[in-house]
Amino acid sequence: MNRVALITGASRGIGRSIALAFARHGYSIGINFARSKDKAEAVAREIGSLGGKSLLLEADVSNSEQVKKMVGKVMGEWGKIDVLVNNAGITRDRTILKMSDEEWLETIQVNLTGAFWCLRECAKEMCRKKEGAILNISSIVGAKGSSGNANYVASKAGLMGLTKAAARELGRFNVRVNSLLPGFHRTDMGNRVWDKLFERVRSEHFLGKLTDLEEFAEFVCVVAEQKSVSGQVYNFDSRIL
């Protein structure tokens, strides 16, 4: 039977690479996006060129009603969700003393609350069939901390906590929940601080090089397909947490 993966924030960057990796593994892909419809359509064409199926899903994950409708569309199209990858995220970098209420709340709402909405709705379906994998894309800064982006750090630390709590609750339904830390990549989000941080981040790697994005996307697929692992946080680069 065809397997189905829902990837949030799948129109570009890490989400795009993960969507294509799952397509190569034979999954039908729910491509979630909030604004970049043209880029999401390009991902759908790439999936089609691989012989795969996809469904465009425009939804703001910070809105619980939109998340419910999105999950409903996937269920209506394919009748199940085997894998959820919570990848959608934003940055609103600012030092603590200058950070506005809106910058704090918006980041938490998208990166953490949005992931919870998606996890909750997909878990309902996974628990019914007693099978499923949920993967939360967090960040090494959620474990180590960082300056100038306390909102982002808090959201990613929260994702790791959510992973462990959900793994405990959902394990009896055979739903696995794990978190992955992708490393630093030259995506649209990473580009904003690439020149500033590249050399520092590279110097922290024992291998002297950054993580390969395609390797990371493949690793996400590998973790999703493990049947006896849950509640774990995987750091996919050569820095120590």
Nearest Cα residue to 15 out of 233, 224, 179, 220: 220
Judged on CB neighbours under 10 Å (0-12, 13-18, 19+), 152 is buried
Task: Please tell me which residue in 22, 27, 33, 152 is annotated as part of the active site.
Answer: 152
Q: Which two tokens stand for residue 230?
A: 């849950």
CA 230 to chain CA centroid, Å, is 16
Q: Which two tokens stand for residue 99?
A: 């950070």
Query: Who's near 198: CB < 8 A, 6+ residues apart?
Result: 184
Task: Assign 3-state DSSP to the chain and report helix, strand, coil percentages, each to 5.
Answer: 50, 15, 30
27 is catalytic: no
Q: In angstroms, how far apart are the furthest CA atoms of the chain?
A: 53
Q: What amino acid positions are annotated as catalytic residues?
A: 152
